Structure 1
Amino acid sequence: MSATPQTNPSLRFLPFGVVAVTLLLAAAVLVSRRQAPLPVISQVDPFLLTNQLGEPVSLDALAGRVWVANIIFTRCAGPCREMTHRMERLQAQFATEPGVRFVTLTADPEFDTPAILSRFASKFTVNPARWTFLTGRKQDLTRLAVGSLKLTAVDKTPDQRANPEDLFIHSTISVVVDGRGRLRTSVETLEPDGPAKLQAAVRRVLIESSVIKVSDLPAINASLNGTAFVLLILGYVFIRRGQREAHQSCMLSAFGCSCVFLVSYVLHKILVRGVHTPIGAEGFIRTAYHLMLVSHILLAIVVVPLALVTIRRGLAGRLDKHRQLARWTWPIWVYVSLTGVLIYFMLYRWFPA
């Protein structure tokens, strides 16, 4: 390193300013996402029904969860399969959000036994821990579906039936219930914009329960990576100018951001139980994304010990060895931080699944 010129003491605090601005921006984004709460339509009455596995399910089993419900019957020759396909896609969209559940009621409990519902569910991608198909006594199902959830389920008279299995008039809407068992909204499932409206409604109810939720963690992680990237660039500029104290502050702050990112990343993976979020792109973009992801992960593993040793040598005053290792550490660290941001945008903003 060259001789140290006169350093502006205020530069020591620049990294902390960068971190503070990033935190304020992240908080502003999270707050801006909060909308006026959806109205409370009614309170769901307690119930006890049976799922496709033959297990009892009560309202208490869904306490603390946001859940989406609809009503179908397995012999349906009309919209029921499409309704179930749309619920299947909604389940996939909330695969990384453990606080969401899905409930499908039957309008035909005399035929739709747990075994029949299980066989019907096997035709779709159903996670039985999160998606429940319910049957039981007719009066209990009617009390829940019609009385509490404001759905429609009416037996057709023989002259109304287009075919022998055209048995019921039932709602094609889906309803959203919050974690306190309160009905919050209903959405027409089969409308072109129905799935988007339903997804937005679920997210609004989720946001009510907490300022920061599991699905916010990827954005927070990207902010931490972006902050580390800015600090690394500033640290490089400062050392090129011989401003060692400002350089040291930037690099230590970048290391702190990267450490918080690692903790947050591991926490996110634990909370989503390791579920992988796919990218909604094909061809060259998909290939480029996976190449970037693999290189990002491998180099992230390498950069942790490199950064630790490099920082330790710098703080110990072993500047020659510090510089030798920094020539490798800095570009790898910059690449990992920058690609962390790009991966977030590709996965959640530009090409979501």
Structure 2
Amino acid sequence: MNLEAKKYNKWIVILSIAIPVVVAVLFGVKIDIKLPVFLPPIYASINALTALLLIVAFWAIKNKKIKLHEKLMKTAIVFSVLFLVLYVAYHMTSESTKYGGEGTIKTVYFIVLISHILLSIAVIPFVLITFVRAITNNIELHKKIARITFPLWLYVAIIGVVVYLMISPYY
């Protein structure tokens, strides 16, 4: 690991712990305001766009379009942050929606939801490490971890949309 990348390690650890903790704490905070828009379809769309950005970025790098790949990945990070902000804002201002399905579909929903939540936490350090390796020009190590980060992040983005579609009839 080069010296430039090392200086980011502390921030990767701090953010990888702080983001899930802050989100969990904010879930317990309720603000009595009515948002001007219904956020779930908006943040589900952001998840879908993130997935699309990841796929196009993968195509770009496979076709040696490095600058396009870089722009797409930075945009995907911004979209993921925007998703998280809107997701937390919704849950701070609205009651959680209960899933209304029964039987096997309810079990499937909770398996999908739990995998989405756990992997959305697990992917944070992967995204941060992958990004740092790119910006510090540690390309071989960047490629190595990107092979893990890409499918995890893509799964989280796609399954976020699936979770929304499954619960949307119960809003």
Aligned to 1:296: 116
The gaps in structure 1 that reach 5 residues or longer are 1-95, 101-209
SS at match of 1:307: helix
Q: Give the superposition deviation at 1:285.
A: 1.0
The gaps in structure 2 that reach 5 residues or longer are 1-29
Amino acid at match of 1:303: V
Report if the CA contact (8 A) 2:51-2:154 is conserved: yes
Aligned to 1:243: 65
Equivalences for residues 111-130 of structure 1 within 5 A: none
Work out whether 1:281 is the aligned partner of 2:101. yes
Counterpart-to-counterpart distance in 1, 2:142 and 2:32: 45
TM-score (norm 2): 0.77
Amino acid at match of 2:89: L
Query: In terms of Rg, which structure is larger?
Result: 1
TM-score (norm 1): 0.38
- 1:97/1:267 CA distance change after superposition, 3 Å: closer
Bigger fraction of residues in helix: 2
SS at match of 2:97: coil
Aligned to 1:176: none
Counterpart-to-counterpart distance in 1, 2:139 and 2:31: 47
Amino acid at match of 1:236: F
* Structure 1 ranges of 4+ moved more than 4 A: 96-100
Work out whether 1:327 is the aligned partner of 2:147. yes
Report if the CA contact (8 A) 2:112-2:159 is conserved: yes
Deviations 1:64-115 (A, max 9, x none): xxxxxxxxxxxxxxxxxxxxxxxxxxxxxxxx99568xxxxxxxxxxxxxxx
Counterpart-to-counterpart distance in 1, 2:159 and 2:98: 17
Report if the CA contact (8 A) 2:31-2:92 is conserved: no
Counterpart-to-counterpart distance in 1, 2:33 and 2:132: 42
Q: Give the superposition deviation at 1:219.
A: 1.1
SS at match of 2:44: helix
Work out whether 1:257 is the aligned partner of 2:79. yes
Q: Give the superposition deviation at 1:243.
A: 1.0
Deviations 1:150-195 (A, max 9, x none): xxxxxxxxxxxxxxxxxxxxxxxxxxxxxxxxxxxxxxxxxxxxxx
Counterpart-to-counterpart distance in 2, 1:318 and 1:221: 32
Equivalences for residues 117-156 of structure 1 within 5 A: none
Please report the RMSD computed on the Cα atoms of aligned residues, expressed in angstroms.
Answer: 2.0
Aligned to 1:170: none
Highest relative contact order (Cα 8 Å, sep 6+), 1 or 2? 2
Q: Give the superposition deviation at 1:276.
A: 2.6
Identity of aligned residues (%): 35
Deviations 1:283-319 (A, max 9, x none): 1111111000001001101111211110111111100
